[in-house]
Structure 1
Amino acid sequence: MSAKAPSHRAAKELSKLFETINKAASSANVSWEDVLLDNARRVSTPLVIQMLAQMGLDLYGNKPIAPFKLFENACGAGVVAPVLQKTLKPDVLAKSSILCGDFSTPCIGLIEKRIKEEGWVNTEVKRIDAQKTKLESASFDYVTTNIGFHVIPDSEAALDETVRILKPGGVLGFTTWHRPPTWVDELQEVFASFPFEAPYTWTLQMTPWGQWTDVQWVRKTLAAKGLEDVNVDIYAHLSKVDSPTHFITQIAMMIDWIMDSAWSEELRKAHPREEVQGLVKDYLEKKYEGGSWDISWVSLIASARKPL
């Protein structure tokens, strides 16, 4: 069993899953919206807080933040926008604007719902292709992309678009994975225990361009794009898994992705999603005795400024 998958097929299957995420991330007991929001809170929010501080938006410091125009690219369920809504002073929000963009129709609908129900100020969402945003040049003070560039098919085009839509003096910030999260090896261990041959494939980067996990490559690339004040760092944190059942709800979409990427149609029919999830749950129930454990996440956080 390989721990790597052909990136083109993996990227295609992942894109399909995000477009149908309202089905892929749902379970009998938990809605797909709750799954995405739980993952955003436990996994992405700590990364985003670090990224924003690195970009000069130190939400918990004493330095005043001027009104701004920000684009949250590849927003998913929304991470940057809600962090800003919860932490910025009302007078700053009243004079600022936030645009959320994603290609996933279900995610766009979820953001629209959150804007209305949570009362987000001066925030809108649009269906946007990161590779060709169609947004006005030199129009944003900040552009963020959280856990995105390494899975965007044409990641160089997406990076060029980010630079294009930044104002002179504007700042970009993004995160990617520097190392695979520990659930990757754990799930491979589980698949190896199945009473049938269960191919397991995983790839951290699905775009053919670049080395998005590599600190030196990211530094050189941002500088080569003409950016200044390039800062690339590594950030590690833990997220708690409450139980084996909670793990299944968190990772169900990725189990589907592995099965769709690596398994034949015949194997998927012989051992459907429900059976596989049951085997995963049983294995982890025995391993952790029904208790909780932690997943380790190691991310690359980058920021840079467009010259004046």
Structure 2
Amino acid sequence: MNTPQGRDALQKMFSNAKAALGDSWRTALLVNAERVSTPLVVRMLEQIGLNADTKQPFRLVDNGCGAGVVAAKLQRLIRPEVMKKSSVLCGDFPESMVELVQERIKGEGWVNTRAERIDAQNSGLETGSFTHVTLNIAFHVIPDSEAALDGTDSIRILKPGGHLGFTTWHLFPGYVADLEGAFKSFSFDAPFQWALQTTPWGDWADVNWVKKTLEAKGLEDVKVDVLAHLSHVDSAEELISHFSMIIKWVMNSCWSDELRREHPEEEVLGLIQEFLEKKYEGKGWDTTWVSLIASGRVPA
């Protein structure tokens, strides 16, 4: 999947998440955010010194913000008197994601938080203007991840003494094995390929590579840990609803136009549901997530 075709398909998917998921897109993103991303975000924020005991105001930008998991957690985690003196900027490239977070800011009453369309590879944000920069499940799918990390963005926009925190996948998510098993069960040849990253630079799943890279970029107090957790899937139908965008990505990346015409998405989703219902006997199940949690500090 770490091919030009795979990268192009992934970028199109992220750029039009709303169309890819249909009417269920908002629910799918928010449920996944709560079940999958929140445990990662809690650990990441703790590593960069943001928790219930935080007393100093901060200025944070969350790039590749998705459904706004980081901002949502900060609203619940940080004391109101500290949050009133702080600011959070949620940035993402797809307009659909930015609009979703803007709706949440207004609807949920998030304090001192705004959402803007930002390219993590070249944000245009002021040098040395933030105390914290976060990226949750992002670096490994940013086309130019080196620019997003280095002088063009994340490190560049941090103040002296500022903190960078991010997460990536360390191992394949558990649902990938389920999807691969489903594809293998089809009565026709259904190619299935998966990659932990689509960016051509680096090895974002490797703890040692990430640690050495952050240190080479001049960061101090570098810490890279691995976090494993489970999330519950209520049914085969739910998994397909939440990950239909990923299934479509696999089909667009690995299948020929002819194969997609012969076996359209609706048929494939039905076959996957049939496989999962048989495998899990029509019941729910737990799926595994193993992530890399990294942090570092710009010298004061």
TM-score by length of 2: 0.97
Alignment partner, residue 61 of structure 2: 71
Q: Which amino acid aligns with 1:47?
A: L
Q: Which amino acid aligns with 1:164?
A: R
Q: Between the two proteins, what is the percent identity of the paired residues?
A: 57
Say if 2:51 and 2:78, in contact at 8 Å, map to a contact too: no
Alignment partner, residue 17 of structure 1: 13
Say which of 121, 142, 160 aligns to 1:152.
Answer: 142
- Does 2:49 correspond to 1:56? yes
Taking the aligned partners of 2:114 and 2:54, their CA distance within structure 1 comes to: 24
Say which of 271, 296, 300 aligns to 2:288.
Answer: 296
Alignment partner, residue 277 of structure 1: 269
Taking the aligned partners of 1:134 and 1:11, their CA distance within structure 2 comes to: 24
Taking the aligned partners of 1:20 and 1:210, their CA distance within structure 2 comes to: 26
TM-score by length of 1: 0.95
Matches within 5 A, 1:161-176: 161-176=153-168
Q: Which runs of 5+ in 2 are unaligned?
A: none
Taking the aligned partners of 1:12 and 1:162, their CA distance within structure 2 comes to: 23
Q: Which amino acid aligns with 1:162?
A: S
Say if 1:141 and 1:167, in contact at 8 Å, map to a contact too: yes
Give the secondary structure class of the aligned counterpart of 2:260.
Answer: helix
Q: Which amino acid aligns with 2:244?
A: A
Alignment partner, residue 118 of structure 2: 128
Q: Which amino acid aligns with 2:118?
A: I
Taking the aligned partners of 1:99 and 1:84, their CA distance within structure 2 comes to: 12
Give the secondary structure class of the aligned counterpart of 2:124.
Answer: coil
Q: Which amino acid aligns with 1:42?
A: R
Taking the aligned partners of 1:6 and 1:212, their CA distance within structure 2 comes to: 13
Alignment partner, residue 74 of structure 2: 84
Alignment partner, residue 194 of structure 1: 186
Deviation at 1:11, TM superposition (A): 1.6
Q: Which amino acid aligns with 1:170?
A: G
Taking the aligned partners of 2:188 and 2:125, their CA distance within structure 1 comes to: 50
Say if 1:19 and 1:104, in contact at 8 Å, map to a contact too: yes
Alignment partner, residue 101 of structure 1: 91
Q: Which amino acid aligns with 1:206?
A: T
- Runs of at least 4 residues off by over 4 Å: none
- Give the alignment's Cα RMSD to 1 decimal: 0.9
Say which of 241, 250, 253 aligns to 2:245.
Answer: 253
Say if 2:172 and 2:196, in contact at 8 Å, map to a contact too: yes
Taking the aligned partners of 1:304 and 1:65, their CA distance within structure 2 comes to: 20
Give the secondary structure class of the aligned counterpart of 2:120.
Answer: coil
Say if 1:147 and 1:177, in contact at 8 Å, map to a contact too: yes
Taking the aligned partners of 1:205 and 1:146, their CA distance within structure 2 comes to: 14
Taking the aligned partners of 2:2 and 2:185, their CA distance within structure 1 comes to: 23
Say if 1:237 and 1:298, in contact at 8 Å, map to a contact too: yes
Taking the aligned partners of 1:226 and 1:64, their CA distance within structure 2 comes to: 26
Taking the aligned partners of 2:55 and 2:66, their CA distance within structure 1 comes to: 25
Taking the aligned partners of 1:98 and 1:6, their CA distance within structure 2 comes to: 32
Say which of 29, 32, 57 aligns to 2:25.
Answer: 32
Say if 2:219 and 2:298, in contact at 8 Å, map to a contact too: yes
Q: Which amino acid aligns with 1:76?
A: G
Deviation at 1:119, TM superposition (A): 0.7
- Does 2:37 correspond to 1:47? no
Alignment partner, residue 254 of structure 2: 262
Q: Which runs of 5+ in 1 are unaligned?
A: none
Say if 1:48 and 1:146, in contact at 8 Å, map to a contact too: yes
Taking the aligned partners of 2:216 and 2:228, their CA distance within structure 1 comes to: 27
Deviation at 1:69, TM superposition (A): 0.3
Alignment partner, residue 179 of structure 1: 171
Say if 1:17 and 1:24, in contact at 8 Å, map to a contact too: yes
Say if 1:181 and 1:298, in contact at 8 Å, map to a contact too: yes
Say if 1:171 and 1:304, in contact at 8 Å, map to a contact too: yes
Taking the aligned partners of 1:34 and 1:129, their CA distance within structure 2 comes to: 25
Taking the aligned partners of 2:278 and 2:217, their CA distance within structure 1 comes to: 51
Q: Tell me the alpha carbon deviations over residues 51-96 of structure 1, each in whole angstroms, 9 at most, x when there is no partner.
A: 000111133xxx3331110001100111100001122211111100
Taking the aligned partners of 1:42 and 1:295, their CA distance within structure 2 comes to: 11
Say if 1:171 and 1:306, in contact at 8 Å, map to a contact too: yes
Residues matched between the structures, number? 298
Q: Which amino acid aligns with 1:10?
A: G
Alignment partner, residue 223 of structure 1: 215
